[in-house]
Structure formats: structure tokens, C-alpha cells
Structure 1
């Protein structure tokens, strides 16, 4: 099996494209069978539970700072957590709707803003939950790439079959 690019599907021995798997969904998104719809129901619930658990953990952390008597620090910490969550959520939304290659500017910074992405995990989880209500997160991008690769493969296969038919007809004549 070979991979032509980061977003393209792998191919089988005859060159037919194979759909790339999506986290939690595998390749069930292609046929949209029973397993896909079951996962489509469970993934948002899991993402919502993870978002709630993360928000609760952050609330406990902020409460600990508040109890310590550092009231001005509590407000600053709350603002920082909100800003990090908003930035991580915006970045995650762009990744899920347009792909990681489309990130530019501050959203494209992996290592420099790793702390922001880590602290803003609640925003990223909330966006994952919201996106999973619409589709399997990232499905639209993968489906478009897979459909394009399948169309190209079918065109090439038809052209190859046509050339071979012409050659066979010339040999018979």
C-alpha cells in the first residue's frame, strides 16, 4: 500500500483508492451503515462528557486559587482559561472543517503555542462535540478527497480499458 499525500487515501494492489479512517469511526463513514450511526450517536455524548469533565476540573483549579485568597489572580486565571479555550476551539473548528493544511498565522503554531492548546482543551472538546452533531468530525474533508480520488481512478480505469479494447481490435484485424 502506498500513500501519495498526507490527506489522500491509500491504494490497493490494483490502484483503487481505499478510504482513510477517521478517529472513532474507522471507515464506517463511507457506507454509513448501522455501526456509523451508532458511533454518530455515541461520539457526541463522549465529547460532551469529556467537555463537562474538563470544565469541572478547570473550575476546581480556579476555585482552589480563589480559596487561597488571591482574588485578582482568580479573575486573571479565568480570563486566561477563557481566551485559551476560545483560541483552541477556533483552531479545532478550522482543522475539522478545512483541514490542518489551511491553518495560517497563530493557529498554525504547533510548538510555540502548545501550552495554549493544552490549556484550551475544553474549547477544543466543545468544538469537537458541536462538529460531531453535524458529521463525523473531518468526514467532509475526507469524503471530498476520497470521492475525487475514486473519480480519477474510475476515469483512468475506463481509459485503460478503452485503450486495451482498441489494441485488441487492431490485433484481430
Structure 2
């Protein structure tokens, strides 16, 4: 059952494109209402805390390798692998906030992004300091959709049968 305004059976929702929700924010990014600032602060703190805990877990893994005496090469290889994967994950996550990632490339990088999760968490933290991650991209797409909708609806005004014919 749809929500109606009770006067003439028309829906309460405004006509035109609807904003795409952002994870953890919903559509509060449009007008920055309903606890938007508190969510940004909480998610920034949460992603920083998760990155810190993740680094601690990686430190325990490194200590485990040292205790197992696997050798300096393997320990160095693990450190380099996590550093490179984290740097690549940071760059990929950061660029995904401004442009839509290619789904095929995203699928092929899934393993790398899983290994470099610390970089993704840090990118999320840094973006949360200025805006909801992905807000700029969503806002640009939403504004473009609104402009296109406005052009389509204003162009159709008037009775087409009374249109003057060019001779």
C-alpha cells in the first residue's frame, strides 16, 4: 500500500529522481539532517579504531612468524606484501569515492583489497573527516539527474495540439 496525502490520491513522495543511499548514512547526505554529523564522527572514529586493531592483529601475526623462526626473508616478504596491498587498497578505495569503479576490475582486485584492508579503513577514515565517503560522487549524479528531470518536465508543458506549425 502506498502512502497517499489524502487529498487527491497522489503519493506523498516528490516526483523525480530519488537520491541513492550511502552505506551507514542512508539519504541523510542530501540535506545533512537526521544525525548526519554524529554519524560522520562515529564512523570516522570507528574506522580509525578498526585500523588500529587491525594493525595490532597484524603485529601479532608478525610476532607469530618470528617465534616460529621462519626466517628473515619470509618475515620481510609478509611486511612488504601487507604494505603494498594496503597502499593499493588505499588508492583504490580513495578513487572509488570520486568515480564509479569498474565492476570487472573490482572483482579482480577483491583478494588484494582483502589483504590490504588497513589501507581501505584509513581511506574511509580520512574521507569521513570531510564528507560521507562517496557523497561528492552521489551528489553530482543526483544533481545531474535532477537537472535532466527538470529539463524533461518543463519541455513538455502546454497543449501539443495548439502548437504552431512552421511553414
TMscore range, shorter length: 0.7 to 0.9
- Give 1 or 2: higher helix fraction: 1
Question: Helix, strand or coil: the match of 2:137?
Answer: helix
Instruction: Report the Cα offset of residue 156 of structure 1.
Output: 1.6
Instruction: Report the Cα offset of residue 132 of structure 1.
Output: 1.1
Instruction: Report the Cα offset of residue 157 of structure 1.
Output: 1.6
Instruction: Report the Cα offset of residue 74 of structure 1.
Output: 1.2
TM-score by length of 2: 0.81
CA–CA distance in structure 2, aligned partners of residues 123 and 93 of structure 1: 9
> Does the aligned pair in 2 maintain the 1:15–1:153 contact within 8 Å?
no
Which residue is 2:121 aligned to?
125
Whether 2:149 is the aligned partner of 1:148: answer no
Instruction: Report the Cα offset of residue 109 of structure 1.
Output: 5.4
> Does the aligned pair in 2 maintain the 1:85–1:121 contact within 8 Å?
yes
Which residue is 2:7 aligned to?
none
Instruction: Report the Cα offset of residue 34 of structure 1.
Output: 4.3
TM-score by length of 1: 0.78
Instruction: Report the Cα offset of residue 77 of structure 1.
Output: 0.8
Whether 2:111 is the aligned partner of 1:110: answer no
Residue segments in structure 2 that go unaligned for 5+ positions in a row: 1-11
> Does the aligned pair in 2 maintain the 1:19–1:27 contact within 8 Å?
yes
**Residues 59-109 of structure 1, C-alpha deviations (whole Å, 9 max, x = no match):** 1111110111124121111111111111111111111122214x89xxx25
- Tell me how large the CA RMSD over aligned residues is: 2.5
Whether 2:43 is the aligned partner of 1:43: answer yes
> Does the aligned pair in 2 maintain the 1:84–1:116 contact within 8 Å?
yes
Residue segments in structure 1 that go unaligned for 5+ positions in a row: 1-11
Alpha-carbon spacing, 1:109–1:139, altered in 2? closer, same or farther (3 Å)? closer
Instruction: Report the Cα offset of residue 168 of structure 1.
Output: 7.4
1:57-76 matches, cutoff 5 A: 57-72=57-72, 73-76=74-77
Alpha-carbon spacing, 1:168–1:28, altered in 2? closer, same or farther (3 Å)? farther
CA–CA distance in structure 1, aligned partners of residues 162 and 153 of structure 2: 16
